[in-house]
Amino acid sequence: ELDQIKEAIKLGVAKVNVNTECQIAFANATRKFVAEYEANEAEYDKKKLFDPRKFLKPGFEAITEAVEERIDVFGSANKA
């Protein structure tokens, strides 16, 4: 898939939508956090990981990672 995207960009494609990929990355990271929370609820409660800011952090980090990867694939790094 990444090779196809790179080739499409070389051929002139100027817009590639990535929102769905970001949503999937967010959902997967959040599901993983919830599963780990349920397996270690007492420990997570001690760390107050039920706080939405902490609870949602893995999802936001996953979006950041997905976007950074796409920036590299698109050849857009360090371009305004």
CB proximity list for 5: less than 8 A, separation 6 or greater:
16, 73, 74
In the structure, how many helices (H) and strands (E) does the chain have? 5, 0
Q: How many domains does the chain have?
A: 1
Asked if residue 44 belongs to a domain, the reply is: yes
Q: What is the mean pLDDT of residues 34-56?
A: 87
pTM > 0.85: no
CA distance linking residue 9 with residue 74, whole number of Å: 7
Asked if residue 45 belongs to a domain, the reply is: yes
Asked if residue 80 belongs to a domain, the reply is: no
**Residue 28 lies in domain:** 15-74
Is pLDDT at 8 greater than 90 in this prediction?
Answer: yes
pLDDT-based confidence at residue 23 (cuts at 50, 70, 90): very high
Q: What is the mean pLDDT of the chain?
A: 91
pLDDT at 37: 85
The three-state secondary structure class of 44 is: helix
Is pLDDT at 80 greater than 80 in this prediction?
Answer: no
